[in-house]
Structure 1
Amino acid sequence: MFDKVSKLPAGLFLVPLLLSALLYTIWPEMVHIGGLTEALFSGDYMNFILGALCFYSGTGIDLKKLVNILKRQGVLLVVKLIISVALGFVLIKALGTDGLFGLSTMAMVVGIASLNPAVYLSLVNEYGKKEDAAAMGLIGLFSIPVVPMLTYSLASAAGAELDWMPVLSSLIPIAVGMLLGNLDKKFATLFAPGVSVLLPILGWNIGQGINFLEVAKAGILGLLLVVIYYIAMLPIYFVDKRILKQDGIAAVGMLSVAGVSVSTPAALAAAFPVLQPYVANAMGQILTAVVVTSVVTSFIVKKIYTSTYKK
């Protein structure tokens, strides 16, 4: 079984996620029995797993090579940030809150700004270069609401005070990991293997918030969001290939919507009450994008890897 799952693109992450989502759809409260079972399998403590992944990844970052990481992943993330904020701003100003053909503006703004660190890490561990995984902490910043919040703040006449604490809290685990890993390389030897161990557990926990019935309800609108997402993010791939002269694997690995982003519409509505009527629809549409991009991106990365290195 293990070998068959491992042969699938990001299989050790996606298979637990999809299985968990199926069980969650049938019986949402199945693992909510308290104690250790709920803590490990319910998804309620997913931030601990994400924090541990950032810490483990941090131990593997060699400060001497950090400049190289920033030269590639840093550039790609800056491109994504510019696209996310600029395009989101235009969408808000042009479409208001109603959106396009029933696809809410909020769903587009949140989706375009999102990046799934778990899918990225799973793919670069399998198909990428060693230094690709070291960008995990920076990539995690795109799974929290800070970029959509920034976009809506810029587009709002009144604006809203930004909370930078989520950004800081995402950077601290990787910074502590970097400190330990560079003080003594044995810490990297100890903790770095934990990344692969935690990915299936993370996949399961993300699945405990995905209801396939809600995905089905979003239907065509959710798929429209997926199409818009991929078109908007295409420049990242071209920057990696044409300007940075890389294989494009890390760039395409960044093209998936984070499961955590499903909760972002509620956070935005808390800061901008005018968005409240659109929260439910946006969540369903984003949920569809989470499932579809996780699977599609994994197969695209495998295709690129095969065509590049196995000719």
Structure 2
Amino acid sequence: MGRVPIVDTLQRVPGGMMLIPLLLGSVVRTFWPGFLGLGSFTSALFRDGALPLIALLILATGAQINVRQSGRVLAKTGVVLMAKTVVPALLVIAYGYAFGREGILGVSLLAAMVAFVNSNGGLWLALATQYGDEEDRGAYIASALNDGPFFTLVFLGLSGLGAIPLVYIVAAVLPFVIGFVLGNLDAKFADMMKPASAITVPFFAFALGAGIDLRSLAVGGVTGIWLGLLVALITGALTYGAYRWLLGERSAVGFAAGTTAGNSVATPAIVAQADASFAPFVAVATAQVAAAVLVTAIVTPLITHYLHRRLQRGAAGRPAGARA
């Protein structure tokens, strides 16, 4: 029988298990949207399956973290949250003070804040699975916290309009906590959940891509592409440096935080509901953020892979016992 090396091909592409299905989902959404609307199991898996599958992966990731590792996971979570969300938000606030809400070069304060302060948790999990370890996957908690409009509203408003009910954050973190508890109560449960990452990543990636119309790149134009490149380079570098200098790890996985989450495309409209003065910026900001989602999903895995190979070559060239 003939053999088509589908899995081997995906694994040869940096972040390919996530990136290629995501792009395929975007292509289907753009040119054959009727397929996604067939209904029943087809729509449930290929259009609506992202959140349930990511939730399952989060639970499975929690199950792999034992009590002795949990402190390190929290440390990595804090470092990622600081480097990917807090510091970029302060930079964007300075941008707003300097250039106003309109910003410069067509990038408004709203678009910049939305694109910079959140991260693509699914892509982090995929890259952490390929280039990191269980502790890195556990640092997904940072994406669970910064995903959605919470930090965008808080940093933009500082007026109470950005408040989000605590239950929103609890609901995002709870699957990880449940997996953590079950995995520590029963080692067999943890073993049972180990294959979840290899199974779920390509399918939730396709479903995430099915929510992105490739034509949004044309609407967002060059400004959206440049915004995505800046998000990848600045926040990826910040988190990569934080891994090195605050955690003492030479790991390429830190750069995997340099992304914009797919569901952040809805955040500009949510901000405008809280503060109507942002309404004039919503249409362009939404298109720019959508472009940033696609650009970071392509650029960040490539740079992460490059850094990983470079670190591997550096480690191979160092004498045994030399300090990293």
Could you state the TM-score of these two structures normalised by the residue count of structure 1? 0.92
Q: Closer, same or farther in 2 for the Cα pair 1:38/1:186, shift >3 Å?
A: same
> When the two structures are aligned, how many residues end up with a matched partner?
308
Match of 1:259 in 2: 262
Q: Closer, same or farther in 2 for the Cα pair 1:122/1:45, shift >3 Å?
A: closer
Q: What amino acid does structure 2 have at the position aligned with 1:217?
A: V
**Distance (Å, rounded) in 2 between the aligned partners of 1:91 and 1:50:** 34
Q: CA deviation at 1:159?
A: 4.0
Would you say the 8 A contact 1:20–1:208 is kept in 2? Answer: yes
Match of 1:304 in 2: 307
Structure 1: which 5+ residue stretches go unaligned?
A: none
For 1:262-281, what aligned pairs fall within 5 Å after superposition?
262-281=265-284
**Distance (Å, rounded) in 2 between the aligned partners of 1:255 and 1:80:** 7
Q: Deviation digits for residues 91-138 of structure 1, max 9, x if unmatched? A: 334433322221222110011102111111111111113321122233
Would you say the 8 A contact 2:256–2:300 is kept in 1? Answer: yes
Q: CA deviation at 1:46?
A: 2.7
2:250 counterpart of 1:247: yes
Percent of pairs with identical residues = 28
Would you say the 8 A contact 2:84–2:258 is kept in 1? Answer: no
**Distance (Å, rounded) in 2 between the aligned partners of 1:106 and 1:63:** 40
Q: What amino acid does structure 1 have at the position aligned with 2:85?
A: L
Q: Deviation digits for residues 31-54 of structure 1, max 9, x if unmatched? A: 212222111111x35322222221
Match of 2:37 in 1: 32
C-alpha RMSD over aligned residues: 1.9
1:103 equivalent among 107, 129, 132:
107
Q: CA deviation at 1:177?
A: 0.7
For 1:162-311, what aligned pairs fall within 5 Å after superposition?
162-233=164-235, 234-310=237-313, 311=316
**Distance (Å, rounded) in 2 between the aligned partners of 1:105 and 1:138:** 23
Q: What amino acid does structure 1 have at the position aligned with 2:18?
A: F
Match of 2:64 in 1: 60
Structure 2: which 5+ residue stretches go unaligned?
A: 1-5, 317-324
Give secondary structure in 2 for the equivalent of 1:30: helix
Would you say the 8 A contact 1:104–1:282 is kept in 2? Answer: yes
**Distance (Å, rounded) in 2 between the aligned partners of 1:300 and 1:277:** 35
**Distance (Å, rounded) in 1 between the aligned partners of 2:281 and 2:146:** 22
Match of 2:15 in 1: 10
Q: Deviation digits for residues 226-275 of structure 1, max 9, x if unmatched? A: 24324542332222223432123221011111111111112212211222
**Distance (Å, rounded) in 1 between the aligned partners of 2:288 and 2:205:** 20
2:91 counterpart of 1:87: yes
The answer to which of 107-116 and 95-104 deviates more is 95-104
Would you say the 8 A contact 2:92–2:112 is kept in 1? Answer: yes
Would you say the 8 A contact 1:206–1:259 is kept in 2? Answer: yes
Would you say the 8 A contact 2:50–2:205 is kept in 1? Answer: no
Q: What amino acid does structure 2 have at the position aligned with 1:284?
A: A
2:60 counterpart of 1:49: no
1:22 equivalent among 27, 47, 60:
27
Q: What amino acid does structure 2 have at the position aligned with 1:132?
A: D
**Distance (Å, rounded) in 1 between the aligned partners of 2:165 and 2:306:** 40
Would you say the 8 A contact 1:111–1:229 is kept in 2? Answer: yes
Tell which has more relative contact order, 1 or 2 (C-alpha 8 A, sep 6+).
1
Q: CA deviation at 1:218?
A: 1.5
The answer to which of 76-85 and 102-111 deviates more is 76-85
**Distance (Å, rounded) in 2 between the aligned partners of 1:11 and 1:298:** 8
Q: Deviation digits for residues 9-51 of structure 1, max 9, x if unmatched? A: 1111111110111111113332212222111111x35322222
